[in-house]
Amino acid sequence: MLVPIVQMARFFDPLGPLKRWADRQRGHQTCLHNDRKPRMSPEAARRDHRDMLRFMALNALGGMTIGLVVGAALILLDVGGLMGLLGRASNPVLPAFLVVFPLVLLFGAAAAATAIMTMPYETKFRDEDEQPPRKDRG
């Protein structure tokens, strides 16, 4: 009974959690202070920025189109008697707008968010910049 307790005590490192925390902090600081900078001219950076914004805008426009189609389908397929309610309304444009517009915004925002997450951004580093991260000595 005494031997397993002694073996467990021998393998326990009281500074282990502190060492693991210090390693995580060192890795975090390395990520925050990355010295590699893209080598791009101002014109190339502007062109890259325009391409990314165009990509986002086209995705948002596609999502808004899908939202418009879904809203129109809800009305035309008479889901929940919506077409009948709009037909009896004194001003059917406003209720139709209140049904379709939130769907357009929702689908457009979802597509824009997806575009941001899947941005086809290529890092433009030179080959001599590809070095392993430095280890800080402390």
pLDDT (tens digit per residue) in 108-117: 999 999 998 8
Is the per-residue pLDDT at 118 higher than 70? yes
- Please, are residues 26 and 136 in contact by the beta-carbon 8 Å criterion? yes
- Please, are residues 29 and 138 in contact by the beta-carbon 8 Å criterion? no
Report percent pLDDT > 70 for the chain.
66
pLDDT (tens digit per residue) in 69-100: 999 999 999 898 999 999 899 999 999 999 99
Residue 81: which region, alpha, beta or left (left: phi > 0; alpha: psi -120 to 50)? left
Q: For residue 111, give both structure tokens.
A: 């597509």
Cα 88–chain centre separation: 43
Q: pLDDT confidence of 23, banded at 50, 70, 90?
A: confident
Q: What is the pLDDT of residue 56?
A: 92
Domain ranges of the chain: 43-119
